[in-house]
Amino acid sequence: MTIKQIADSLSVSTATVSNVIHGHLGKMSPDTAQAIREKLEHYQYIPNMSARMLAKGDSEIVAVITNYPNREEKLALQDPFVSEMIGALENAIRSRGYVTLLYAAQNAAEIHHIAQTWNTVGMVILGLQANQCRELMQTTKKPTMFIDCYFDEGDRFNNIGLDDRGGMRLLTEYLIGLGHRDILFIGDQPTLWGLDVHRLQGHMQAVAAAGVQWKDDRYTHISKDRKKRQDDYVRLTGRLAKHIETAWMFTSDYYAVEAINYLTDHGYRVPKDISITGFDDNILARVVRPRLTTVHQNVSKKAEAAVKALFDVMDGKLAEPYVTALTTRIIKGRSVRAADSYS
């Protein structure tokens, strides 16, 4: 059933039916509006989104664009943290009557193109580097909220972040409290940036406060390529055999859980042979055995905060850039034990 057919059946104009669909009742009589609603409901009429966009002047679409550095090259959306974040964002956007349009960008140029060409009311962008965020805001006036963009001190852009430094400091203090002094910090890049820098800084602050001398060989990285990572785990088990460390701290749950599985498959036991920690407290950390000791962040709260702030920007309620860093807490699982048990 088309708008014209509905209009003809009620002896009204197509414009009148369209006004009811879009909520523009004007001087229309309540009886006419009700008759049109009943007819629309009877035929289960679904309005064309493109037509609604033209009629309303906006798209009712919020773009969610992810550019998180992924762990398996082009499979970023399979990452548990990213998928949980996207699900929470979609729920927060839908609850406000808007539609989510998801795009997994491979580079900043794609994001620039989307910002300039897509008819969206606003954008939520995840995991972009600080210089890329600055460049984007120079080319678009579209309401934009960043998540996990680690700006330089003094930069003022809308961003919902996390106290990564504080979270890793707390986790390191917990290990030190259990007697650990020989700790290996493990990331996935030779030169750290973004969240990994903050997490390493928090670790180093706790180490320094405990009077333990930091050495460069207390940091190592593993490859983002899964096949190459197998060689990295062989290298790590070589350190384990020499009892170089009592604990390994990974910058994410993803790698920590993968390492636990690798060690288990090769005859090692966690935490009997080595203590292991992660960061995020995602679904992997909760289902792996032993349950992973990690840093918890509330992903749903982060997503809701980002969407609320974006809509406040769209409604003109935020005159100044909105910047916040959510707090963290330690989850004490069973993947860690006291250091003196290794002697």
* Residues 256-290 pLDDT 10s: 999 999 999 999 999 999 999 999 999 999 999 99
Same domain for 258 and 110 = no
Q: Are 170 and 293 in the same domain?
A: yes
Same domain? For 157 and 169 the reply is no
DSSP 217-283: GGEEE--SSHHHHHHHHHHHHHHHHTT--SEEEESSHHHHHHHHHHHHHTT--TTTT-EEE-SB--H
Q: What is the CATH number of the domain that holds 18?
A: 1.10.260.40
What digits encode the pLDDT tens for the residues 158-186? Answer: 999 999 999 999 999 999 999 999 999 99
Whether 52 has a pLDDT exceeding 70, the answer reads no
Q: Supply the pLDDT for residue 174.
A: 98
Query: 311 φ, ψ to 5°?
Result: -70, -30
- CB-based burial of residue 168 (10 Å sphere; 0-12 exposed, 13-18 middle, 19+ buried)? buried
Q: Do 171 and 274 belong together in one domain?
A: yes
Which of helix, strand or coil describes residue 90? helix
Do residues 308 and 257 share a domain? Answer: no
Tell me the one-letter amino acid at 62.
V
Please give the angle made by the CA atoms of 41, 42 and 45, to the nearest 5 degrees.
55
197/335 same-domain check: yes
Domain that holds residue 51: 3-56
**Number of residues in the chain:** 343
* pLDDT value at residue 54: 47
Two structure tokens written together for 80: 């548990």
Three-class secondary structure of residue 319 per DSSP: coil
Number of domains in the chain: 3
Q: Which residue has the higher pLDDT, 184 or 55?
A: 184
My answer on whether 144 and 232 are in the same domain is no
Rounded CA-CA distance 270/98 in Å is 46
Q: Choose from 10-24, 127-141, 327-341 the range with maximum mean pLDDT.
A: 327-341
Q: Taking all residues of the chain, what is their mean pLDDT, rounded to a whole number?
A: 87
Q: How far apart are CA 326 and CA 324, in angstroms?
A: 6
- Shared domain for 145 and 283, answered yes or no, is no
Which CATH number belongs to the domain containing residue 180 in this structure?
3.40.50.2300
Do 97 and 214 lie in one domain? The reply is no
Q: Cβ(342)–Cβ(246) under 8 Å?
A: yes
* Residue for token pair 């579209």: 142
- Average pLDDT on 90-119 reads 84
- How far out from the chain centre does Cα 330 lie? 19
Distance CA 76, CA 173 (A): 31
pLDDT tens, residue by residue, 195-253 = 889 999 999 999 999 999 888 899 999 998 888 999 999 999 999 989 999 999 999 99
Phi and psi for 249 in degrees, rounded to 5? Answer: -110, 115
% of the chain residues with pLDDT over 90: 51
The closest of 278, 280, 238 to 258, measured between CA atoms, is 278
Cβ within 8 Å of residue 66, ≥6 positions away: 76, 77, 82, 86, 102, 103, 104, 105, 125, 126, 127
- The answer to whether 162 and 227 are in contact (CB under 8 A) is no
Same domain, 87 and 175: no
The one-letter code for the residue type at 144 is T
Contact by Cβ (8 Å): 6, 43:
yes
CB atoms within 10 A of CB 242: 8
